[in-house]
């Protein structure tokens, strides 16, 4: 596992060096600021969904419905901007930020439904997760057509924030410190989640709930409560990711086919498995995927004679390759199982 991650970082570093040395060659794409900025932006929804997935799965609830959470939050955010009116504000808060919260709320509510179905009604987590995805895949296009008569809704975006001084650092300052708001959210969320999971009481409860729920139960902590909290956290985080996806840079929701989310929720699962449930490792894995994705976009713009549909498959192929190499990541012992404390005889 360590070695795979190291190898991945190594390959990426080698590409960066090649790009710096030969900026005009194909490798130049790797260090192109446009590519790097796109990579960071593309990483945001995947990273946040993955962080959510880590909480849920570590607590024992495999949340395969992350894709669905991204879809509803991406749509709800855009729909709220449209309904509130672009450029208006609710009290002192600009409407786009209210809409952002609406997106997060939508995802959290769907996550709550998922939690109830899994914890209260002992549903098979995989099937319930698929249901979350399919419900979202149905409801977002449906609502889009009902509300706006179209499957493609355009709104404004959150835009970039430039941090003085830091953004003038050569090489990476412009990319990292003059970035879209959502990129900063990601850079705050990753260490925050790492801290909660590794340095707090709640983090230990989450771990115990997934590894040895009966021990947690014996210690007097309700397994169900820890799992509810963890799944809700996954809803909040994926919601931030989804709203960031549609409102951050794109400013639109497209509901055709697999919607604009287009598998990001599933890629997120692959990245946290790759990162072995560690938020920092997950961020590295996501940057690898999003780096490939933005390279792919760069390759298309450079007019390379490979059909773009073929190049688009690179991130998906990478997910499979990665899973084969890290497939034996040990998942939490009690993940996927319902925990019955045996106390509440209904």
Give the H or E element holding residue 161.
Answer: strand 160-162
Residue 131: CB minimum distance to other proteins, A: 4
Pairing of strands 152-154, 160-162: unpaired
Which residue, 6 or 330, is less far from other proteins as judged by CB?
A: 330
CB of 10 to other proteins, least distance (A): 21
DSSP secondary structure letter of residue 151? S
Rounded to 10°, the helix 181-199/33-58 angle is: 30
User: Does 316 contact other proteins by CB under 8 A?
Assistant: yes
The pair of structure tokens assigned to 13 is 């570093």
3-state secondary structure (DSSP) of residue 44: helix
Please identify, among the stretches 21-29, 163-171, 284-292, 306-314, the one whose residues bind other proteins according to the rule CB under 8 A.
306-314
CB of 132 to other proteins, least distance (A): 8
Nearer to other proteins, 303 or 307 (CB): 307
CB of 308 to other proteins, least distance (A): 9
- Lookup result for tokens 């808060």: 93
- Segment 110 to 139, residues that bind other proteins, using CB under 8 A: 113, 117, 120-124, 126-128, 130-139
| Residue 55: closest CA among 190, 195, 244, 197 | 197
Neighbours of 81 (CB within 10 A): 31
Q: Write out the binding residues for other proteins, residues 233-272 only, by CB under 8 A.
A: 258, 262-263, 266, 269-270
**Contact pick of 20, 320, 333, 341 for other proteins (by CB under 8 A):** 320
**Tokens at 215, concatenated:** 């021990």
Residue 227 to residue 118: CA distance in whole angstroms: 10
For residue 123, give the 3-state DSSP assignment.
coil
Query: Which CB sits closer to other proteins, 31 or 296?
Result: 296
Interaction site with other proteins (CB under 8 A): 64, 113, 117, 120-124, 126-128, 130-139, 141-143, 145-147, 258, 262-263, 266, 269-270, 273, 307, 309-310, 312-313, 316-317, 319-320, 323-325, 327-328, 346
């Amino acid at each position: 596992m360590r070695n795979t991650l190291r190898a991945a970082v190594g390959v990426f570093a080698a590409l960066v060096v090649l790009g710096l040395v030969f900026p005009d060659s194909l490798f130049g794409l790797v260090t192109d600021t446009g590519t790097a900025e796109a990579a960071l932006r593309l990483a945001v929804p995947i990273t946040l969904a993955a962080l959510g997935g880590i909480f849920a799965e570590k607590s024992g609830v495999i949340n395969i419905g992350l894709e669905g959470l991204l879809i509803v939050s991406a749509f709800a955010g855009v729909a709220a901007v449209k309904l509130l009116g672009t450029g208006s504000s609710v009290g002192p808060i600009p409407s786009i930020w209210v809409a952002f919260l609406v997106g997060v709320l939508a995802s959290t509510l769907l996550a709550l439904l998922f939690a109830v179905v899994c914890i209260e009604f002992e549903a098979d987590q995989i099937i319930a997760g698929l249901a979350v995805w399919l419900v979202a895949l149905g409801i977002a296009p449906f609502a889009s057509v009902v509300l706006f008569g179209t499957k493609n809704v355009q709104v404004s975006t959150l835009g970039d924030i430039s941090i003085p001084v830091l953004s003038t650092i050569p090489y990476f300052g412009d990319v990292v410190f003059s970035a879209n708001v959502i990129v900063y959210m990601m850079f705050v969320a990753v260490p925050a989640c790492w801290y909660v999971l590794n340095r707090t009481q709640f983090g230990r409860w989450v771990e115990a709930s997934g590894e040895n729920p009966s021990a947690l139960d014996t210690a007097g902590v309700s397994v169900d409560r820890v799992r509810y909290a963890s799944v809700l956290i996954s809803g909040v985080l994926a919601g931030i990711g989804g709203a960031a996806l549609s409102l951050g840079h794109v400013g639109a929701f497209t509901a055709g086919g697999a919607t604009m989310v287009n598998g990001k929720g599933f890629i997120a699962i692959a990245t946290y498995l790759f990162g072995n449930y560690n938020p920092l490792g997950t961020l590295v894995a996501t940057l690898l995927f999003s780096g490939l994705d933005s390279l792919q976009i760069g390759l298309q713009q450079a007019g390379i004679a490979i059909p773009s549909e073929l190049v688009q498959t690179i991130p998906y192929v990478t997910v499979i390759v990665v899973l084969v190499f890290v497939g034996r990541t040990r998942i939490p012992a009690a993940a996927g199982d319902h925990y019955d404390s045996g106390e509440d005889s209904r």
